[in-house]
Structure 1
Amino acid sequence: MYFIKKALLVITGLFLTAFGTKLLTISHLTFGGTAGISTLLTFSTGISWGVWFFMINLPFFILSVKRLGILFSVYTLLCISLISILSGFLKIAPTNGVHPIFIAVAAGLIIGSGVVLVLNNGASLGGIHILAVYMDQHLSINRGKTLFITDFLIVLSASLMVGMVNALYSVITITIASFLAGKFKPQQGAKSDENNIPVEASL
């Protein structure tokens, strides 16, 4: 029952993250991390976001397997695979007429909530999230800070493709999402679950 509860929370988190990312893509906004890189590659190549997201994340498993454990890595691989599939099936109506700032805020809240559910239940969305979890556990650097800095740099570089204005709107998204990811974490001293999945320390 415990495992089923965690699995349902992770799946909910994946759905929210996929939905928020799709919302950004159809609004010509972007995000940070491997999700943002995948969005930019989708804009430039026409290949689906899910395909790029899966391919870009594969190299990060070297770090994940070596430093965070095989079980965590397997869960993360499953998460990446599932979110790649979900993004391909999700269909969202065009956001014409909606101001980008509202899209940015909504996407930040949605993605941030999804990331919290995934990270707090023993998995990650790969890429920068793996790095963030590693630095949080081993270097005591808050995962929200790592996500914000890396995402900010990626979105800044994305301004060449989506425009400076849209890039600035995208910064709103990553600010909200990284704040949520850094704020809502398991309490310090919380134990790993029965499967020895890593649990991040809080501030």
Structure 2
Amino acid sequence: MHDRPTHTLFEDAQGLLVGTGLCGFGLSMLTSAGLVTGQTAGLAVLLSYVTGFGFGVLFFVINLPFYWLAHRHLGRDFTLKTFIAVALVSAFAELADRLVNTQAAHPAVAAVLFGMIAGAGLLAIFRHRASLGGVGILAYYLQERMGWRAGWVQLGFDLALFGAALLVMAPDLVLWSLLGAAILNVIIGVNHRRDRYIAT
């Protein structure tokens, strides 16, 4: 039985740069249309609307408490790559806000493009054994510790998040946001399979 091939340091670096760049740009497009998404990124987006703080700063800070769980249960390498990925997405989102004009995008267009762009970015991040932290790490921990299914934990968080979004956003924007989140999750669900991608 052959060992799985491994990514080189260069391959990991370029994969994380490309993936986080795509996610950062996608999130900038999302927020320019006043939309929201799920998971930790969505919480940071929603808080940015309520508080006026930038998404990048909030996303980076919200993720800080979760690295201890990641280090303890998922290992040092995964935690380090995830920390780097979160920092890069925060930076790229802030840069995109300053350098790219997406103000003309209709919410429907922004939602679809976000789903496709961020979905591709997350695939690159996942395939190089990293994540964007936060709720995903907590869900994994609760599954291991409490027996709660990680997928249900994440779904419950997202339902609560979109429910909260209805309190501060127009209903049509929340519906367009759900479309973007659905497209992103379909892309991940169809393409992120260990039986088809074997490098580690």
Seen in structure 2, the aligned counterparts of structure 1 residues 148 and 28 have a Cα distance that, compared at 3 Å, is same
Seen in structure 2, the aligned counterparts of structure 1 residues 6 and 132 have a Cα distance that, compared at 3 Å, is farther
- The CA RMSD measured in Å over matched residues stands at 2.7
1:117-136 map, 5 Å: 117-131=124-138
1:46 partner amino acid: G
Seen in structure 2, the aligned counterparts of structure 1 residues 189 and 17 have a Cα distance that, compared at 3 Å, is closer
Pairwise CA distance, 1:153: 3.2
Seen in structure 2, the aligned counterparts of structure 1 residues 179 and 142 have a Cα distance that, compared at 3 Å, is farther
Aligned counterparts of 2:118 and 2:144: Cα–Cα separation in 1: 22
Counterpart position of 1:95: 103
Tell me, yes or no, if structure 1 residue 180 matches structure 2 residue 187. Answer: yes
Aligned counterparts of 1:87 and 1:189: Cα–Cα separation in 2: 30
Aligned counterparts of 1:39 and 1:59: Cα–Cα separation in 2: 18
Counterpart position of 1:105: 112
Q: So what's the TM-score if we normalise by structure 2? A: 0.83
Counterpart position of 1:24: 30
Q: Report the 3-state secondary structure (helix = DSSP H, G, I; strand = E; otherwise coil) of the residue aligned with 1:188.
A: coil
Contact 1:148 1:175 in 2 (8 A): no
Pairwise CA distance, 1:22: 0.6
Tell me, yes or no, if structure 1 residue 170 matches structure 2 residue 174. Answer: no
Q: Report the 3-state secondary structure (helix = DSSP H, G, I; strand = E; otherwise coil) of the residue aligned with 2:27.
A: helix
Provide Cα deviations, 1:63-89, integer angstroms capped at 9, x if missing partner: 211111111111111111111111221
1:36 partner amino acid: G
Contact 2:30 2:36 in 1 (8 A): yes
Structure with larger RCO (C-alpha < 8 A, sep 6+): 2
Counterpart position of 2:3: none
Question: What is the number of equivalent residue pairs in this alignment?
Answer: 191
Q: So what's the TM-score if we normalise by structure 1? A: 0.82
Tell me, yes or no, if structure 1 residue 114 matches structure 2 residue 128. Answer: no
Seen in structure 2, the aligned counterparts of structure 1 residues 148 and 23 have a Cα distance that, compared at 3 Å, is farther
Structure 2: tracts of 5 or more residues without a match = 1-6
Contact 1:18 1:83 in 2 (8 A): yes
1:168 partner amino acid: L
- Among 5, 8, 11, the alignment partner of 1:2 is 8
Contact 1:129 1:147 in 2 (8 A): yes
Counterpart position of 1:196: none
Q: Report the 3-state secondary structure (helix = DSSP H, G, I; strand = E; otherwise coil) of the residue aligned with 1:125.
A: coil
Pairwise CA distance, 1:103: 1.3
Contact 1:152 1:171 in 2 (8 A): no
Seen in structure 2, the aligned counterparts of structure 1 residues 142 and 34 have a Cα distance that, compared at 3 Å, is closer
What is the percentage of aligned positions where both structures have the same residue?
29
Counterpart position of 1:65: 71
Counterpart position of 2:81: 75
Tell me, yes or no, if structure 1 residue 153 matches structure 2 residue 164. Answer: no
2:100 partner amino acid: I
Aligned counterparts of 1:93 and 1:21: Cα–Cα separation in 2: 13
Contact 2:33 2:106 in 1 (8 A): no
- Among 25, 32, 51, the alignment partner of 1:45 is 51
Contact 1:19 1:87 in 2 (8 A): yes
